[in-house]
Amino acid sequence: MPIHNEDIAAIFEELANLLEIENANPFRVRAYRNAARTVGGLGKEVSELIAEGKDLTRLPGIGRDLAAKIVEVLETGHVRKLNELHERLPATLEDLMRIPGLGPKRVKLLYVELGIETPAQLAQAARQGRLKSLSGFGAKSERTLLAHIAKRRRSKPRVARGTVIDLAEALVAHLKKANGVSQVVVAGSYRRGQETVRDLDILVTAEPTKGVMERFTGSDQVDEVVSRGRTRSSVILHNGLQVDLRAVSKDSFGAALHYFTGSKAHNIQMRRLAQQRGLKINEYGVFKGDKRVAGKTEASVFRAVGLSLIPPELREGRGEIEAARNKRLPALVSWEDLKGDLHAHTDASDGRASLEDMARAARRRGLKYLAITDHASAVTVAHGLDADRVLRQVETIDELNGRLKGFRVLKGVEVDILEDGRLYLPDSVLGRLDLVIGAVHSGFELPRQKQTDRILKAMDHRYFTLLAHPSGRLLGERDAYEVDMMRVIRHAAERGCYLELDSQPKRLDLDDNYCRIARDEGVMVCIDSDAHSEQGFEHLHLGVAQARRGWLEKRHVLNTRPLRELRALLKRTMV
């Protein structure tokens, strides 16, 4: 079975978690976490790099020992160090760490003090009230954990879309090589750009006799074949994701693509609209009686009911059909509209590349400017900069800008918003910067009113520019903290500052609903990568998809502005 980058990253992440439970050297733990991020963020399979003779130790954060472990995983499918840890610690502890609110330190406490090894044991202990005896746990913690465990049992887990893109693209490339296949598209919530997906729906145009189903079910990604037929098959991949493949005729491809892309609400509204015109829409086409009048392309389906083509990201039944009918569909922002990135980290804090390497990587991707915003943090795990180091970085950026041609590095910082609403750095430092990103990195458990007041106070700071990842959520790992987001958005409008859409696969924060509200309230959104490596800029594509779901146009996005206009907008926030 081939080993992919996400498999290696998962092994390194599990190593880091179990080592942290064992109280291993923090630098060693961090090395595995950095390696997981590096490998998981690569745009090319590690196996291909090795086949090309590339030196893995040239990758950020990968030394000889980690490079050897990568080779070991590729050759054997596992790593001896993890096997040794599993002999000392139950492998089920990793399941506990997938429950929101439980990290390695809390899982260690549960395991050492109460002998809890599985989610089932945790639920039993919570129901019996035994967690309250542990430091940092209480009655509220017990209720919250029980709710999370119940939710996991009720629903098939959704995964972050950004974590399956490489997998989906690999399947598409694999199927395109089948004889007789002319079109391959991943439909469903994946195509609509939803932040999480439960499964993948792939459509192909192919002759059933040409073997596309056999190629699909025989993929090296497949763990279990659920069903196999002439026009439809279903499989479970090694990562647990279900994928369905449907083969349709060329004459019906557009109708099928529309049908299997739109949400239930969108499709119902489209069928009603068709009925009003005496038509019928289904996955085979648009029909007038028994005659098919459209369906070869998606555009023909929309045209048959008097609409222009609605972008996939808008097909949620949230006003897009009315907007299309009234010719008011937004001209959605695109990747090509982005001129720069205002949130990125270097190895001065918790990034994995130098300042100059990050700048050159951003320029290679077609950007015109990049803000370096290393952490200035009261939270030591972020390796935050203090005032002196921020000022030294300002000097380094000035020197670099003197050497770069056709590209500008902006001076910024991602500064902690403290629990009382103050910013971690003094004004004497913040006033030297082009922009200041405020972020909540602790105190997630604060009550709604206190959390909201904390953020509003920070936004009132004279040098505050942009609120980073506004809800604090991590998809599948941590819920958003309690905050009145409507008050935050409206306060941003009054204050004249901006909100971030963080493109990290586990964040995508703001969500699409609040992006649309921000647009309606006149608040500009900044689509940032939050890159921690040279490969991290690729995540901007995810942020753009989220922005499109939020009905954002180019004019609603801060970093679509050319540098001169951007500088004026940044300066406007400094009151």
Per-residue model confidence (pLDDT) at position 502: 98
- Lay out the sheet containing 291-294: strands in order across: 280-282, 285-288, 291-294
Say whether pLDDT at 528 is over 60: yes
Per-residue model confidence (pLDDT) at position 227: 86
Per-residue model confidence (pLDDT) at position 146: 86
Q: CA 312 to CA 212: how far, in whole Å? A: 26
Give pTM, 2 decimals.
0.78
Render pLDDT for 197-227 as a digit per residue (tens, 0 to 9): 999 999 999 876 568 999 999 998 888 888 8
Q: CA 239 to CA 160: how far, in whole Å? A: 13
Render pLDDT for 170-195 as a digit per residue (tens, 0 to 9): 999 999 998 889 899 999 999 999 99
Say whether pLDDT at 538 is over 60: yes
Q: Which residues pair with 437 in a beta bridge?
A: 414, 466
Q: Is 552 helix (H, G, I), strand (E, B) or coil?
A: coil
The residue that leads in pLDDT, 437 or 36, is 437
Fold of 252-325: Beta Polymerase; domain 3 (3.30.210)
The residue that leads in pLDDT, 94 or 464, is 464
Q: Which H or E element spans position 416?
A: strand 408-416
Pairing label, strands 498-502, 280-282? unpaired
For residues 78-104, give the mean pLDDT: 80
CATH superfamily of 159-248: Beta Polymerase, domain 2 (3.30.460.10)
For residues 96-107, give the mean pLDDT: 83
**Within a 10 A sphere around the Cβ of 10, how many other Cβ atoms?**
16
Per-residue model confidence (pLDDT) at position 210: 65
Fold of 5-154: DNA polymerase; domain 1 (1.10.150)
Say whether pLDDT at 448 is over 90: yes
In this structure, are residues 391 and 429 in contact, taking their beta carbons and an 8 Å threshold? yes
Q: CA 459 to CA 415: how far, in whole Å? A: 12
In this structure, are residues 460 and 423 in contact, taking their beta carbons and an 8 Å threshold? no
Per-residue model confidence (pLDDT) at position 478: 87
Render pLDDT for 360-411 as a digit per residue (tens, 0 to 9): 999 999 999 999 999 997 764 457 899 999 999 999 999 999 999 899 999 9
The residue that leads in pLDDT, 121 or 391, is 391
For residues 492-516, give the mean pLDDT: 96
Q: CA 509 to CA 547: how far, in whole Å? A: 10
In this structure, are residues 267 and 286 in contact, taking their beta carbons and an 8 Å threshold? no
Q: Among 206-215, 238-247, 287-296, which stretch is predicted with the lowest mean pLDDT?
A: 206-215
Percent of the chain scored above 70 by pLDDT? 97
Per-residue model confidence (pLDDT) at position 206: 81
Per-residue model confidence (pLDDT) at position 209: 58
- Which of 492, 489, 533 lies closest to 511, judged by CA? 489
Per-residue model confidence (pLDDT) at position 91: 67
Q: CA 129 to CA 151: how far, in whole Å? A: 20
Q: Among 141-145, 282-286, 429-433, which stretch is predicted with the lowest mean pLDDT?
A: 141-145
Question: Is domain 335-572 given the CATH code 3.20.20.140 in the classification?
Answer: yes
Percent of the chain scored above 90 by pLDDT? 66
- As a whole number of angstroms, the longest Cα–Cα distance in the chain is 76
Per-residue model confidence (pLDDT) at position 382: 56
In this structure, are residues 351 and 344 in contact, taking their beta carbons and an 8 Å threshold? yes
Per-residue model confidence (pLDDT) at position 221: 87
| Average of per-residue pLDDT values in the chain | 91
**Within a 10 A sphere around the Cβ of 160, how many other Cβ atoms?**
20
Per-residue model confidence (pLDDT) at position 379: 63
The residue that leads in pLDDT, 130 or 367, is 367
For residues 298-324, give the mean pLDDT: 96
Q: Where are the domains of the chain?
A: 5-154, 159-248, 252-325, 335-572
In this structure, are residues 278 and 267 in contact, taking their beta carbons and an 8 Å threshold? no
- Which of 380, 391, 372, 495 lies closest to 437, judged by CA? 372
Per-residue model confidence (pLDDT) at position 491: 97
Per-residue model confidence (pLDDT) at position 197: 94
pLDDT band at residue 137 using 50, 70 and 90 as cut-offs: confident
Say whether pLDDT at 1 is over 60: no
Per-residue model confidence (pLDDT) at position 208: 62
For residues 422-438, give the mean pLDDT: 96
| Per-residue tokens: 540 | 């901007």
